[in-house]
Homo-oligomer: A and B are copies of this chain.
Amino acid sequence: MHYNIINELGELALGSRLKRLSDYIYREGKELYRNNEIEFEPRWFPVFHLLAKGEIVSVVEIADSINVSHAAVSQTVKELAKNKLVSVYSHKTDKRKRELTLTEKGFELHKKMAPLWNDIATALNDMIRQHKHHLMAAMQEVENDFETLSFVDRITKVKNERLQREVNILDYKSEYAHYFKALNIEWLEKYFYVEDYDKKVLGNPEKYIINAGGAILFAEFEGEIVGVCALLKYNEEEYELTKMAITEKAQGKQVGKKLGLAILERAKRLKAKKLVLESNKILKPALNLYERLGFKFVYKDFSTSAYQRANVYMEKEL
């Protein structure tokens, strides 16, 4: 073996690879200063160079300018002060602030280093601009993209798309009837209790839902039925979205979203004009999903509701 696996790992080892290059540059920078008999640390550069512009600035202002934490600047300034390269005064009016400037020695060192910095910029620029892919430009593009949509959000998006692709929606079949009951009882027993009306409907979905002109859809993931959702017909124009249940171990797999979208499609196919649903305030993730599906909260008197547990009512026009 002994082949280099890092390239094969590609984007997955990007952090490690960036660190390696960063470490290399700091190391070489250090040696360069040593070779030139300059007592200076590469990490001081951004702060030092900013101060050399002559503007009197504070720790936080520097941190914002060079995109590091104020703690990093605080530490750097401490070292620079110890090396007598910057002087620290407290602000005239704002006693929290500290004013930083280069000392005489600092300005002298800056002048002494200017040609070397010029050489560094020249050498690196000469190298990089000959490349097909310009490193600085590439980093800029990456940084910009991560600012638009974070690393985590990008991966989460891809993951959710994958999971949605992996979830299949299946139409009602009598051999699935027991899942309809089991999945609903699972969550009812967890959060509330099974009401008589539940027992009736769950025990005979064919009679109460299918034959009544409604629909039941199942979600399948990795060969298992992991979710259900039903449409209960009120009249030609109005249906109730009901009996949505997703098994606990399939949570976070976008099953609810895919099932919800499928049930909306089905409602449209049935020429429904309006969907309603009843739920409970404590079911936060469910309410969240309903909102993302386009349902709106509507005030309602629940004294006539079929369910004891209902205290939230939602509607969606199709």
> Could you tell me which A residues sit within 8 Å of B by CB distance?
1-7, 9-22, 24-26, 28-29, 31-32, 35, 42-43, 45-46, 49-50, 55, 57, 61, 64-68, 115-128, 131-143, 145-146, 150-152, 154-159, 162
Contacts and interface: CB of A to CB of B under 8 A. Distances in A.
B3 A65 contact: yes
A11 B136 contact: yes
Nearest to A154: B123
Contact of A133 (B68, B120, B137): B137
A65 B4 contact: yes
B135 A142 contact: yes
Contacts of A14: 25, 124, 135-136
Chain A binding site: helix, strand, loop or mixed by DSSP?
A: helix
A157 B16 CA distance: 30
A7 B50 CA distance: 13
A296 B136 CA distance: 46
A45 B16 contact: yes
Nearest to A72: B16
A79 to B, nearest CB: 15
A162 B115 CA distance: 9
Nearest to A14: B25
A12 B120 contact: yes
A202 B24 CA distance: 50
Contacts of A115: 159, 162
A50 B146 CA distance: 28
